[in-house]
Amino acid sequence: MLSEDGKHLYVSWDEYHALIEKLALKVHASGWEFDQILCLARGGVRPGDILSRIFNKPLAIMSTSSYRESAGTVQGRLDIARYITLPRGELEGRVLLVDDLADSGETLNSVENHLRTGSKKITELRSAVIWVKGISTYLPEYYVDMLPTSPWIHQPFEEYDALRPTKLAERWKI
């Protein structure tokens, strides 16, 4: 649900999963066949996992991090992992790059450039996200929602960002 001022978007688990399914349908409707999925951790792990299951394709994971400041609400320096984790072999062929959103576009632009210059075995690279913010400098081939007001997206799993084992134990009275 978008707040009245357009600055916040609140997403429930049901909405989140429905959006990932709509993303899968957009990729499918394009007719593009891909060999592997590369998701960006952390935000792209859940969509990547679900798309990997729906399309029955291997899932590779690349860690990136830029939202570390102010409890993860301020973008800082982008770090891209040196290695990609995948079940076997290496990243090659037609690759679908998956993240949760194109915010500023910096992460997706940087990762795409990194992959295009660093891997000669990738023959085609396309990207898929749930949301694209209006401020993004990157437009993926596949997305579900364009958000012209660039709201802060409150995703359902964010409660775990501040949940520590002691609070969890209190919740479950352990």
Q: How far apart are CA 108 and CA 97, in angstroms?
A: 9
Q: Please report which residue ranges of the chain form alpha helices under DSSP H.
A: 13-30, 45-55, 106-118, 159-162, 165-171
Checking if the pLDDT of 143 tops 50, the result is: yes
β-bridge mates for residue 132, sequence order: 102, 146
In the chain, what are the domains?
Answer: 8-171 (3.40.50.2020)
The pLDDT of residue 71 is 46
- Could you tell me the two tokens for 84? 């990609």
Q: Can you give the pTM of this predicted structure?
A: 0.88
Amino acid 4: pLDDT? 85
Residue found by looking up tokens 């660039």 in the block: 150
Q: Express each pLDDT in 71-122 by its tens digit.
A: 455 555 677 766 788 877 889 999 999 999 999 999 999 999 989 888 789 9
Tokens coding 74: 């301020």
